[in-house]
Homo-oligomer: A and B are copies of this chain.
């Protein structure tokens, strides 16, 4: 059942959330915010609509109608989700939350849902920031949140093929804890690592630890097992195959609309023994982009190649004085990587990059950055309680469009946000992943909002950002998925004929349209 230590309204664990005093203190960094934080309502004050569903006796033991469970499964973790929760606006909670403990439970729950026109929303860690787990209308008789967290085991570890069979409900830390004794790691560390699951990563094509080469979880999948209303699909364990279009690639990114991923054989990694890392500074962001392009096209494959623009560098304490900072890192379980780092630093130098001492051991730097990185969502919630509007969005585009997009977000989106809120936003950018033909920029927008209108203002800002991305032929998402919030731009981005294929696949695997309705296709 639901973990009482988890926050029902915001990120992560209750006791890690900012206190009222910390919220007020944080607010001092941003002029124009509210005097006092929005109070956190108690679940008992939410007055959720009564459940419209009652599970059949055989499934009752798997299902909860507890308001705490239903409230915690109503939204994901988008800014608009957190704010609506704070205002107690939970109009469409799931009628029931099911906690299957095995595949048979899932099959029975799907059968029940199918024959009763019940919407089923597969739920991993609930960390979606794109409305991926929130039911929004439709004509279903009720909504069932299918929480897979009870399927959290590493079932097999195969040292010969260096692979592991892992259940979809495994959260990042539990998964790594179970691989560690074998000397392995999945090395998939999204910001949501603690509070997201393998199944969620696979369904949303999450990107994680590696800045280059194998950035998305996709490339570590050896085989998938998926339960659909039409039956079970399991692919053969193969290192690679050219036999027709890849079956796994159809389910990767399907966001719970085609089936419920229950387990996967994942290619795991030896734990790294050699690492080398350094920050490199640039006076001009444009030069830094050129340096990163050169490194991305060099075949060096750094594991970390994170470029922080001046605002981001300042905020994270990596640099001051308008400098951009590139954090370069290499790792290997088998051989030293100092030479690769030297090659990368040399390439950066050709574009004006100056290597800096990382001010402390590489481990310290990584640890401190990492803890700050993991605290960010809690601070986002604290700012939200002070009625700041915080929007983060990420994208990918080809190199020729990168600087133009960056400037358009700074200027056009900045102007739009000022028009919406009357205030000047802080807009920062970092490159989280890079490829030979383009980067994946990640933007953070922070601006004081109008208390009571935060969601409406956020929606306007989100729409303005989406339009700018679309007009620059940038993806509506690189790794946050589509969900419901990105649908308008996803629909314009994908080839229309592929949308038809997706609808056909949906009709084939989910003929009654019960799985995560509204996501990807209608």
The interface of chain A, by Cβ under 8 A from chain B, is 158, 160-163, 204-207, 213, 215-216, 222, 228, 230-247, 249-255, 267, 270, 293, 297-300, 332-335, 339, 343, 347, 396-400, 433, 435-440, 473-482, 486, 490, 493-498, 500-505, 507-509, 520
Contact = CB atoms under 8 A, between A and B. Distances in A.
The 4 closest A-B pairs by CB, nearest first: A239-B438, A239-B435, A504-B504, A205-B242
A396 B473 contact: no
B241 A475 contact: yes
A242 B436 contact: no
A253 B244 contact: yes
B158 A400 contact: yes
Contacts of A234: 495
A475 B236 contact: yes
Number of copies: 2
Given A247-B498, A500-B509, 9 more contacts: A161-B436, A162-B437, A235-B494, A239-B437, A243-B476, A244-B255, A245-B252, A249-B250, A504-B507
A299 B332 contact: yes
B242 A206 contact: yes
A440 B247 contact: no
A435 B333 CA distance: 17
A187 to B, nearest CB: 12
A297 B267 CA distance: 10
8 contacts: A222-B437, A235-B495, A237-B473, A238-B397, A241-B478, A242-B479, A339-B339, A504-B507
B509 A501 contact: yes
Contact of A207 (B242, B245, B398, B439): B242
Nearest to A250: B245
B300 A494 contact: no
A479 B238 CA distance: 13
Contacts of A252: 245-246
Given A216-B242, A245-B254, A233 B495 contact: yes
A398 B238 contact: yes
Contacts of A490: 243-244
